[in-house]
Structure formats: C-alpha cells, structure tokens
Amino acid sequence: MPRISAAQRRQDFVHAAVEVIATHGIDGATTRRIAEQAGANLAMVHYCYDSKEDLFADVYEFVVGKFRDLTTTVDPQAPLEQTARKMLRDTMEYYVESPSFAVAALELINWARRQHGSRGIALFDQALEGVRSTLREAAGDRDIDDATTDEIASTIAFLADGFAVGWITYGDRDLAEKQMKIADSVLESWLTSRLGATNHRTPRRRRAASR
C-alpha cells in the first residue's frame, strides 16, 4: 500500500475539517472527529499539526483560496457586466454543489472574528479582493473608478452570501435555482442602473488583444 505523504494528509484533514465544521460547528470540530472523517488516526493529526488552531489556519487558507479560484473561471475577454454576473453565478452554484463549504465558510468567519478580532474581516476582505481584481481587469479601458469597482464586488458578495443563507437553511434545489435567477436579475438591473450608458461598451484594449 503506497505511503500517504504528510502534505496529502494535511489536505485530507482540511477537507475533513470542512465537513465536520459544517456538521458540528467550530466548537464541535474536535481533532478526533476530523481524524475519523479523514479515515486517519488521531496521532496522525497531531503529527501534521501542532494544534487545532494550526489546522484551522489551513482551513482558513483553503476557504480564501477557493473564493479566489472562483474568480479565475471567467472569460478574460468578457465585458465587465458579464464577468460580474458569471462570478456571482459560479459562487452560488458552488454553494449548491458544496453545501458543507458554504456552512463552514460562514462558521469560520465568525470563529476568526471571535478568536482573532480582525481576522474574520480579513478573510472576507481577501475573498473580495479577488473579485475586485477580476473586475478591474474586465473593465479594461472603461472609465470605472475604484469606488464603483468596490460597490460591484460588494454587491456580488452580499447577493452570494444571502443566497448561501437561504440554501443552507432550506436545502431545496428547486428553490435555490429560482433564487439564483432572482439574484442574477437583481445584479443585472443594478449594473445597468449603476453603469448606465457604458453598459455594453467594448474597450479598445480588448478589441486589440482579440485580433
């Protein structure tokens, strides 16, 4: 039987921790439960991590990384509006496909805020920064200031997080699909209102890049 590396074990424990946190909350996410979820013995957890807090730090980084990954699936040539709507849709669809992640992410933000003050805010800010960066790139040569980019990123986050709460509360896929359509419609209307006449303008830099 091939030996499993410590790096792979740490990844297994992070994924297991997400499931356990989603089921039992932060306080109920004991190292024993995490080990059982990962199919490992408790000694292996302590071999890979000095403390549960160190393990949770990796879970924290995993959550931030997943949000960052969701901002990289857009078409780099797509206009800002399409990019914003795709990021929202991709995030909501990931929540539906990974309800444990949605629950664990909310639990982890609250835990980080209670235990480390601003760290819970930092997690949210890091996730938002990935959205902002992608939006800035999508804006191209359009005259869209940082304040507007921040507003778009925040609107995406608020719609996605509100959707997540509804999804993890009811767990109804049919309802979730309807709510995703509503959220998309709200974002589309807000973007049209906020960006006005620039709504479908294609920046010169992107036309040049596509030739």
State pLDDT tens for residues 149-193.
999 999 999 999 999 999 999 999 999 999 999 999 999 999 999
Mean pLDDT score, 104-128: 78
Domain 52-198 class? Answer: mainly alpha
- CA 103, CA 97: separation in Å to the nearest integer? 12
Please provide the average confidence, as pLDDT, over all residues in the chain.
87
Place of tokens 């914003």: 84
Mean pLDDT score, 121-148: 88
Mean pLDDT score, 75-90: 93
Burial 183-200 (b: 16+ CB within 10 A, else e): bbeebbebbeeebeeeee
Q: How confident is the model at residue 116 (pLDDT cuts 50, 70, 90)?
A: low
- Residue 18 scores a pLDDT above 70: yes
Token pair listed for 165: 């709460």
Domain-wise residue ranges, the chain: 52-198
Q: HEC states along the chain? A: CCCCCHHHHHHHHHHHHHHHHHHHHHHHCCHHHHHHHHCCCHHHHHHHCCCHHHHHHHHHHHHHHHHHHHCCCCCCCCCHHHHHHHHHHHHHHHHHHCHHHHHHHHHHHHHHHHHHCCHHHHHHHHHHHHHHHHHHHHHCCCCCCHHHHHHHHHHHHHHHHHHHHHHHHHCCHHHHHHHHHHHHHHHHHHHHHHHHHHCCCCCHHHHHHHC
